[in-house]
Structures are given as structure tokens and as C-alpha cells.
Amino acid sequence: MTYSKEQKEHIEFVFDVFCRVVLRHELIDAVREKQRRAQHKISLDYLRDEKYFDVSTTDEYFVMQDKPIAFTVCNKTVIVDNEQLGEALKRLTAAQRELILLHFFLCCTDEQIGKLYGRNRSTIQYRRSVAIKQLRKEMESLKDEE
């Protein structure tokens, strides 16, 4: 279907008017939302003065309290921030320690670890579960020593 020049201009004009109406109503909605939020906004100064809340807090989650321990696995250095976990990992055999570090710290799958060591995926899974049980025992024994 072909349109004449006047019809095309009329279609463009109608579309232009439609776009302007839509944008105008979007602006009105945005202004109303801003006003609604301003009515419900409470100043932090008011909360601090009335309820005696602290405005800020100090997060101690990232404060290093333990001495980090570094391990090398497949020419990559893995740093364990938890000193108790690091000591328990040191007590494991080298093969068990490497399995745990590769899986949990370097995010390797059992299949990738199996290819690295020339073993089956299920064998790696079994050895990892044994290593985790041993690690749990070592962690408990370290906890008892303290």
C-alpha cells in the first residue's frame, strides 16, 4: 500500500503527538512519585535525635585477625585467611590438601581435577569427601587443643 506525501506527513504528525503525550504523562508520573517519596522521607538527624540511634557503625568483618597462610597448588598461590583452617590444611596429606584447595579455592570441578591427575571424576569425588572428613577431624582436634 502506498501513501501520498500528505498521508505520510499526517502519520508522522499523529505519531509525534502520541510520543509527546506519552512523555508528558511519564513526566507527571515521575513528579508524583518524587513528591510521594518526599512526604514519607525521614531525616536521619531526626532518627538520631529522637531514638538515639548511631548514624554509622564500624564493620569488623574484613579486619584481619588471623595470620594468612599461603599454599601453592598447580603453580598458583592460594591464601587462606583463617588461621585455624590453614593449620588444619597443613595437617592433611599433600594430595588431600591439593584436592580441597583446587575444588574450594580455585573452583575446579571434579572432572577438571580428574583430568589433571589422570583419574576418574567419581574417584576424585570420593577422595575429596574423604579429605573433607579428615579436615573436619583436624579442625575439631585443633579446637580441642585450644
In a domain, 56, yes or no: no
In a domain, 57, yes or no: no
Q: Do residues 137 and 105 both lie within one domain?
A: yes
Q: What is the pLDDT of residue 7?
A: 93
On the question of pLDDT at 109 being above 70, the answer is yes
Q: What is the pLDDT of residue 5?
A: 92
CA angle 48, 57, 49 (to 5 degrees): 5
What is the average pLDDT across 106-116? 91
Query: Over the chain, what is the mean pLDDT?
Result: 86
Q: What is the DSSP letter of 118?
A: T
* Range ranked top by mean pLDDT from 36-45, 72-81, 129-138: 129-138
Q: Do residues 47 and 73 both lie within one domain?
A: no
Q: Do residues 77 and 31 both lie within one domain?
A: no
Q: What is the pTM of this model?
A: 0.55
Q: Do residues 81 and 138 both lie within one domain?
A: yes
CA angle 124, 128, 132 (to 5 degrees): 175
In a domain, 11, yes or no: yes
What is the average pLDDT across 118-136? 93
Q: Do residues 88 and 134 both lie within one domain?
A: yes
Q: Do residues 37 and 75 both lie within one domain?
A: no
Here the CATH number for the domain that contains residue 78 is: 1.10.10.10
On the question of pLDDT at 42 being above 60, the answer is yes
3-state per-residue secondary structure call for 14-75: HHHHHHHHHHHHHHHHHHHHHHHHHHHCCCHHHHHHHHCCCCCCCCCCCCCCCCCEEEEECC
Q: Do residues 76 and 138 both lie within one domain?
A: yes
What is the average pLDDT across 45-51? 61
What whole-number distance in Å separates Cα of residue 114 and Cα of residue 37? 57
Give me the domain span that covers residue 31: 5-51
Q: What percent of the chain has pLDDT over 70?
A: 84
What whole-number distance in Å separates Cα of residue 68 and Cα of residue 142? 17
